[in-house]
Amino acid sequence: MASAAIRPSLGAFGRISSAAAATTAPRSLVSTTQTASLSTTTSLLKRHKYPGARDNKDYSKHRGESAIRRTGTRWRLSMSDEPLPKPVPREQLPPIETDPDHGLWEFFANRKTVANAPEEDAKYGRSWSVEELRHKSWDDLHRLWWVCVKERNRIATANWERNKSKLGFGEAEALARDREVRATMRAIKHALTERFYTWEDAVKLAENDPEVNLTGDGPAFTPRDYLEEGEATAAEGEQQQQVAEAAEAAEETAVKAQPAPPVTPDPAMIPASQPQAEAPRL
Amino acid sequence: MQPTRVLQALRYRRLRLTTKDVNKGFYKGTRTGSMGRHTKHGGYIIDWNKVRTYVCPSLEGFKLTPFVTRNMPRTFGRYETKLGPKDPEMYLARWKAENGLD
C-alpha cells in the first residue's frame, strides 16, 4: 500500500479522493478539468508560515504504528523471505591449491604441522664461536646471517601458532633455541666489527709501508724481496699441497677452524697465480 | 641517551625517562630513525632513499646452519701477539700473502 509509506494524513487524502472518484464516475465525464476533489500537492498543502509559527514537524516517531493492527514499522525492514543458501560441507569442496614453492612456506619447519613439537625444537647444536667465524668470508657470514634470520622467523611463527591455538608446552624449548641463534648472530657481528677495525688499523699501518701503494695508481703491492727460481718452484709445490689439504679438511667438517696464519709469512712463498680455495680471513 | 644529572639523582634514578620528565622538544623515539620528513601542514613525505631495504643473498646450496654440532667443542684461536686477531700487522701480512690485489 503506497499511502501507508507516506504520512497518514496524506493517505487519508488519497482515500477521500479515490472514494470520490468511485462514487462520482459519471460526473467526471462532465468536468474534465479537475480529477481530484482536493489538491494533493505538498506545496499547496503547506501552511502559511508567519513569524514565530510552530514548525510543521511530526514529533511522534512512531505515529500510526500499532501492534494490535499489525502495521509494522514505519521504515522498511532489511529482511526478506527468500530462502538462505546452505553452506557446502567441507568434504565436498575442491581442495585448495597452493603454490608448493611459495616463499611463505619457509616460515614453517615443515609442511605438515604449524609448530614443531618441543622434542623437535630441543634438537639443536651450540652456537658458532667467534673464532670459527673469523675464518669465514664476508659472503658466507652474510648468508649465515640470513639463515639465522629465517630460523628466528620460524621460531617466532611457531610461538605465535602455539599461543593462538593453545597447543600447550614448548615455549621454553623455543626460547632456548632462539637464544642460541641470537648467540650466533652476535658472533657474526663480533667477527665483522673486529675485521673492520683491524682493516682500519692495517690501512694506517700500510701508509708507512714502502711496499704498499695506497694512491690507487699502479699496483697496490710491490714485494721487495724475491726468491731464486729453483727455490720458488719447490716452495710452490709444497704450498699447493698444504693448501689442498687445508681445503679438504675445511670441507669435511665445515666448521673446523683453520690454523692461525703465521705472523709474518714470506710473501714470495705463495705464487702469484695461486687461487685461494676459501680465503680464510683474519 | 642519558638524562641530566638532576634527573639521575634521587627519585628519578630507577625510573625510565619519559617525555613527561623533561621540557618540550624532547623526542624519545624508538631508536629506528626516520623514513622521511614532516610537512608544515601536518603531513609526512616519505623519502625512499631513507626507507630501509634489506638484501638477502641467494641461499642456494648454502649448507651452514645457525648451529654447530655439539660433538665439536668450541674452538679458540692461538695468537702470538698481544692484540690477537685484532693485530693489524698480521692483517697486512695476510693481505700481502694473498698477493695484495684488493
What pLDDT, in 10s, does the model give residues A148-176? 999 999 999 999 999 999 998 999 999 99
> Cell 663480533 sits at which residue?
A190
- List residues bridging with A127 in a β-sheet: B67
Cell numbers found for residue A143: 648468508
Q: Which residues contact B21 (CB under 8 A, 6 or more apart)?
A: B3, B7, B12, B15
Q: What is the pLDDT of residues A10-64, one digit of tens each?
A: 444 444 444 444 444 444 444 456 565 655 555 555 566 778 777 778 888 889 9
Residues of chain A under the 70 pLDDT cut: 1-48, 226-282
Query: CA distances (Å), B49 to each of A61, B31, B34, B35, B55, in order?
Result: 60, 18, 11, 8, 15
Q: Which residues contact B98 (CB under 8 A, 6 or more apart)?
A: A270, A276, A279
Determine, for residues B92 and A206 on separate chains, whether the beta-carbon distance falls below 8 Å: yes
Q: Given CB atoms, is B63 within the 8 Å cutoff of chain A? A: yes
Alpha carbon distance B28, B22 (integer Å): 11
- pTM score of the predicted model: 0.59
Per-window interface: A 110-139 vs B, CB < 8 A: 124-129, 131-132, 134, 139
Q: Closest by alpha carbon to B35, among B23, B45, B20, B21?
A: B45
Determine, for residues A265 and B93 on separate chains, whether the beta-carbon distance falls below 8 Å: yes
